[in-house]
Amino acid sequence: MSVPVSTAEQCRALDAGVIDGLGVPGIALMEVASRGVARALLHEWPDAAERGVLVVAGGGNNGGDGYGCARWLTNAGVPVRIWALTDASGGDAGIMRAAALKAGIPLVDGPGGEGIVVDAVFGTGLARDVGGRYADALARLAALDAKVVAVDLPSGLHADTGRVLGTVLPADLTVTFGRLKQAFFTPGAETCGRVELVDIGVHASDHASAHLTTADDLAWPERPERSFKTRLGHLAVVAGSEAMAGAAVLACLGAVRSGVGLVTLLTVPEALPRLAGLPASVMVRTGTLAESLERAQGYDAVAVGPGIGGGKPLPDEAHAILRELWESDMPAVFDADALGPWPRASGPSVVCTPHPGEAARMLGIATGEVQADRFGAARRLAGLASTALLKGRHTLVAHERDVFVNPTGSPVLATAGSGDVLTGLLGGLLARGVAPVEAARLAAWVHGRTGEILGEARAEGWIADEIADALPEAIAEL
């Protein structure tokens, strides 16, 4: 089943539902959370723990979790010291602080050669830049030769956007509570290390901003026993130019691996000399870009965009037909040069697949703004296209109010033409009759999983053609 992902505000609402709704004391949740941190730490680095653990505590509930963790570690016989950046702890955190001090855990003014640092300074509520003594402390800790465990979230990371708030203490392990946070699926996730989720008893389905897709959520379309090619769909691929004919080949390679019955490439005559790598099963029709776009409307679905610009602006006539296609009911995937700042929302079956730079162009903002709030950008893109697939380390698929986080991926996919393969794969699924949002989720998962499979064999040297060839291995897992 898909795993819910929540914002900081939603996490607070979940906690309140247990505390106020069920009458469970807040300190009971803190006790479960702090024990989870201690257990994870001891399981991950038992040898480093013998060198001692430094718990760095702030003044809020995150600090309370740290004080509780210190007490659990002391009970386990681990040498522990606490560096309290403030003594202003009230409520449940104050109770945890008092209990830790009563247990005889010493307070110190800084690190002293410990093997592990527990970062319990700020939690998910941080919304302003870190400054003053807190920034100095985080910088000092980051310079240590010690493993770092973040309590709920690395201090200095925004829980919803993953933006670094002035400074951040990178973690080797983040032990988070109740729900996965959006930050774990943003560029800021690089500061989180491995993420471990501790169940503290919050409701399984309430208050989710997104869902992390699992293989169990997905079903590859069945191939009927008495199949024939026309029943399995006919995809038109509008791609390629004289300068970028390879993009057309790669999109078609991805398409034929989708199990679609027929694929026809619609391209310009200038691309023909460079189509030697095209699968023999792919039919080819040539014409101007505008003619190709007109012809594409007679197929079951169309994948349009890879390489059609060839580094130049699209002709006005072609742009006008693209706009008509964007607003029509035809199942279509728009990628690369076909993505533009369309003035109106798309038809009901259009999927757009931008990388961050293309998403910025579609939204009229800077690429940095897309990366600073990928979830927000994905939702805005879904207001333009029926379904939006925002590429990245954690690809996001947005449809109406839903956002799905793709868990698969590998640096292997960071190679020229990899996205063209994805476009063809997604287009083939649309031609087979798969609903746009499900086609996008399937294509993202399979594409990412293919990269993982190849990366297990070797880390370097893969090209997009080989990614396309390996797609069936990932498909077989579904």
pLDDT at 289: 97
Tokens of 448: 């990412």
Q: Are 203 and 235 within one domain?
A: no
Q: Which of 207, 241, 266 is the last residue of a domain?
A: 207
Asked if residue 424 and residue 290 are part of one domain, the reply reads yes
d(CA 372, CA 126): 16
Burial readout 462-474 (b: 16 or more C-beta within 10 A, e: otherwise):
bebeebbebbeeb
Domain boundary at 207, 231, 263, which? 207
**What is the tens place of the pLDDT at every residue in 289-306?**
999 999 999 999 999 999
- Choose the final residue of a domain: 172, 207, 242: 207
196 and 229 fall within a common domain: no
**Same domain, yes or no: 196 and 220:** no
Residues 30 and 173 in one domain: yes
Please answer whether residues 237 and 281 qualify as being in contact, where contact means their C-beta atoms are separated by less than 8 angstroms: no
pLDDT tens-digit readout, 426-449:
999 999 999 999 999 999 999 999
Same domain, 421 and 291: yes
Do 289 and 431 share a domain, yes or no? yes
Could you tell me which residue, 110 or 229, shows the higher pLDDT? 110
End-to-end CA distance of the chain: 14
3-state helix, strand, coil in the chain (%, to 5): 45, 15, 40
CATH of the domain at 119: 3.40.50.10260
Q: At 109, is the pLDDT very low, low, confident or very high (cuts 50, 70, 90)?
A: very high
Residues 155-183: pLDDT tens digits?
A: 999 999 999 999 999 999 999 999 999 99
Asked whether residue 307 falls in the same domain as residue 452, the answer is: yes
Predicted confidence at residue 226, as pLDDT, reads 78
422 torsion bin: left (phi>0), alpha (psi -120 to 50), beta (else): alpha
Kindly state whether residues 243 and 128 are assigned to the same domain: no
Whether 63 contacts 120, CB under 8 Å: yes
CATH of the domain at 293: 3.40.1190.20
What is the residue range of 381's domain? 216-476
pLDDT at 1 over 90: no
pLDDT at 443: 98
* Segment 264-282, tens digit of pLDDT: 999 999 999 999 999 999 9
Do 275 and 296 sit in the same domain of this protein?
A: yes
Using pLDDT thresholds of 50, 70 and 90, give the confidence band for residue 229. Answer: confident
**H or E segment and range at residue 91:** helix 91-102
Beta bridge partners of 4: 211
Q: What is the mean pLDDT of the chain?
A: 96
pLDDT at 204 over 90: no
Same domain as 220, residue 137 = no
Query: What is the radius of gyration, based on Cα positions, of the chain?
Result: 26
User: In the structure encoding, which two tokens stand for residue 45, read together?
Assistant: 């680095």
> Per-residue pLDDT tens for 55-74?
999 999 999 999 999 999 99
**Residue % of the chain over a pLDDT of 90:** 93
pTM for the model = 0.95
Residue 35 confidence class, pLDDT cut points 50, 70, 90: very high
If one counts the domains in the chain, the total is 2
325: Cα separation from own chain's centroid: 29
The answer on 175 and 242 residing in a single domain is: no
